[in-house]
Amino acid sequence: MDLSKLYRGPIVLLLIVFTNVLLASAFTGTYGVNYGRIADNIPPPESVVTLMKASKIKNTRIYDADHEVLKAFKGSGIEIIIGLGNEFIKDISASQDRAIDWVKQNVEPFVPGTRIRGIAVGNEVLGGANQELWEVLLPAVKNIHTALENLHLADDVEVSSPHSAGVFASSFPPSAGAFKETLVPYMKPLLEFFSQIKSPFYINTYPFLAYISDPEHIDINYALFNKNPGIYDSKTKLHYDNMFEAQIDATYAALEKAGFAKMEVIVSETGWASHGDPNEAGATVSNARTYNFNLRKRLLKKKGTPYRPKKVVKAYVFAMFNENLKPGPTSERNFGLFKADGSIAYDIGFTGLVPSSATSSFSFKGAGLIYAVCAAALVLL
């Protein structure tokens, strides 16, 4: 058969349209990276785009809607989730006009060139210290979604709100996963709306944080995906050889108890610190490399979890860079896969950027240099 005949005339257009429809709500692949920027020494956005493309990172998440970042990602093909900060939630919840203005300013001018695929309304709101935000989160989410509908963007841009492990009353064993009773009056209506608009449940899950909270009783190999005896959940009769999947299945169990068994779970943050304070056990370069290397290998297999074997696990790693201005314990400033100068923090298979003495731009090491020059040229187009 002459296959070239299949790619002529209207069939070509049909294939292109069909492909675009498939990509509109997709998380390309299974691996993404959070691009935090609370630092004064990291590479400019244009160089970050070059770095992501060389590393084949196709999904990223930022915590605001910085216009310079959104401009830099134009034409890159990288899918990006932008953030509406917690400080804006109350204002957005009170005014549909303000929500429309926000979308007009921060989304509409950049699409489709910049592939904005989602808006994260707040971060770790429910269960957080500001209880006033618990009440206004859902109205803010609804107003942003309505704004997207009014501007004919809702089919391409998802609305979500990532949660921390603080929303759970229990998570061990995985089948015991359940939301805190105090949060159910806020969580359930939010889940009902996400179910209506077909948004997944985003959870920030950190085996690192679980381990440092109880290093005497948690096997670090279980937290790092290394060989270990694992744990057995007697209720489901399932065995877990790593904490990451156990935490995801605890989330599925909580959703099931709340009445949302079909909702997909996506990990919006996970990672391991390469350096920490004396009381942060396990925060070492070796452990960070092991966790992130094994996590990446695990995600590339495109498999599900023991409790949801048909739901392919997808996750955003925290974070792209060490962020020297982040407050809190030392670990907060040391989750980066890359150092401030763009070089790798440790080797999990990526190529880093290094400062060039010849120019003010960045270049890739060794054989990657030619790719960097070509990629940088593409960014300028």
Residue 124 falls in the annotated catalytic set: yes
Query: CA torsion sign, 145 to 111 to 33 to 263?
Result: positive
Nearest Cα residue to 261 out of 298, 303, 311: 311
Nearest-angstrom CA–CA distance, 110 and 67: 9
Side-by-side strand order, sheet with 315-318: 158-160, 115-121, 79-84, 59-61, 31-34, 315-318, 265-270, 201-204
Catalytic residue among 79, 158, 245, 269: 269
Residue among 124, 158, 245, 280 flagged as catalytic: 124
Per-residue H/E/C for the chain? CCHHHHHCCHHHHHHHHHHHHHHHCCCCCCEEEECCCCCCCCCCHHHHHHHHHHCCCCEEECCCCCHHHHHHCCCCCCEEEEEECHHHHHHHHHCHHHHHHHHHHHCCCCCCCCEEEEEEECCCCCCCCCHHHHHHHHHHHHHHHHHHHHCCCCCCCEEECCECHHHEEECCCHHHCEECCCCHHHHHHHHHHHHHCCCCEEEECCHHHHHHHCCCCCCHHHHCCCCCCCEEECCCCEEECCHHHHHHHHHHHHHHHHCCCCCCEEEEEECCCCCCCCCCCCCCHHHHHHHHHHHHHHHHCCCCCCCCCCCCCCEEEECCECCCCCCCCHHHHCCCCECCCCCECCCCCCCCEEECCCCCCEEECHHHHHHHHHHHHHHHC
Name the token pair of 317: 């790693």
Residues taking part in catalysis: 124, 269
